[in-house]
Structure 1
Amino acid sequence: MNKVKNYSDCVGRIVYGLISFSLGIISLTMMAAALWEVWISLHEKTLLVKSLLDAIGLIVIGMAVFDVSKFLLEEEVFSSGGTKSPAKQRMTLLKFLVIIAIAVSLEALVFIFDAGKKDVSQLIYPTFLLIAAVLVVVGLGIYQKLTQGEGK
């Protein structure tokens, strides 16, 4: 039974390692593409502000994906085998959701600036995205307060 568990752990780490590596490559490619578009826009002198806003959006998404990649690598590949304590599991969940909340907040701000320049009536959608990010942060705060002191 122990041998099967070791094999399963090894396969899991390999799979998570491949997923993490893939996400890292994708995120770096997104960021490079964003910078390339800005470079082209500078040289062709066309729609620089739009290119910059698009680049911010791609870089923010790329950063969030890279953070998730790093998170998976640290938690699933390099972590020690064994069962995590409830406190460690709580910190892992909080860390992951904070990454998501930051990415959603930044993306909402980019969308707000973009919609503000194009059509003010479109501001409702990024505003709801920003409200969702705030609710995630509030929910995290409530979760942290309610679970404080458990499972240490």
Structure 2
Amino acid sequence: MALLSRVTFGIVSAMLMLLALALVAFGALELVAELKKSWREGGNALLTAIGYVVIAIAVFDVAKYFVEEEVIRRPGTLTASEARRSLSKFISTIVIAVFIEGLVIVFQVSKQDVAQMLYPIALLVTAVLIVLGLGVYQRLNVEVERQSARKEQSKSGDDKDEQADVRSRPRST
């Protein structure tokens, strides 16, 4: 079952990477087509292309995360701090993509209809909430790691005391 899971994640990751590449190509082709028609419309096409590239980076990062965590890494070898770092890196990439996408949409909407600013503002607020949630997660996780390390130290200290007691006892013959 583990092999099937790894193969499935590998195939899905490869598909996501190809789709991310297709998004970049589509954005570039659309930009070139718009610039050939009108330089004036090129600015909007440029913002759209940036949006495609940002989404492509986020999709690619999801695929990379799947490959690293589900295909390459052996099950059960992930420590708590490695999991925290990996998840934080993944979420950070997604948040950056959401922030950039929100900013791109703010620029697009502000040129057309300012009354339509609710969606991009909601997108930016969502990104801020994700960052705050990640901060809380980091803080709580680090505290748990510290408590766990203290327990391990006190446990190993108790074991050393017991070993010292055993060595200091006189041997009976």
TM-score (norm 1): 0.88
| 1:127-146 equivalent positions in 2, closer than 5 A | 127-146=121-140
Question: Deviation of residue 15 (structure 1)?
Answer: 0.4
1:4-53 Cα distance to aligned partner (Å, 9 max, x none)? xxxx2211111000010000000100110000011111222262112111
Match of 1:84, SS? coil
Residue number in structure 1 paired with 2:30: 37
Residue number in structure 2 paired with 1:4: none
Question: Deviation of residue 90 (structure 1)?
Answer: 2.1
- Aligned counterpart in structure 2 of residue 67 of structure 1, from 61, 66, 79: 61
Contiguous gaps of at least 5 residues in structure 1? 1-7
Q: Which of 1 and 2 has greater Rg? A: 2
Question: Deviation of residue 102 (structure 1)?
Answer: 1.1
Match of 1:80, SS? coil
Question: Deviation of residue 100 (structure 1)?
Answer: 1.5
| 1:100-111 equivalent positions in 2, closer than 5 A | 100-111=94-105
Match of 1:147, SS? helix
Residue number in structure 1 paired with 2:153: none
* CA RMSD, 1 decimal: 1.5
Separation in structure 2 between the aligned mates of residue 36 and residue 129 of structure 1, nearest angstrom: 27
Residue number in structure 1 paired with 2:73: 79
Residue number in structure 1 paired with 2:119: 125
Higher RCO, 1 or 2 (CA under 8 Å, sep at least 6)?
Answer: 1
TM-score (norm 2): 0.78
Separation in structure 1 between the aligned mates of residue 130 and residue 117 of structure 2, nearest angstrom: 20
The alignment-based identity, stated in percent, is 40
Deviates more, 1:31-40 or 1:142-151: 142-151
Residue number in structure 2 paired with 1:18: 11
Question: Deviation of residue 91 (structure 1)?
Answer: 2.2
- Aligned counterpart in structure 1 of residue 20 of structure 2, from 9, 27, 40: 27
Contiguous gaps of at least 5 residues in structure 2? 150-173
Question: Deviation of residue 136 (structure 1)?
Answer: 0.7
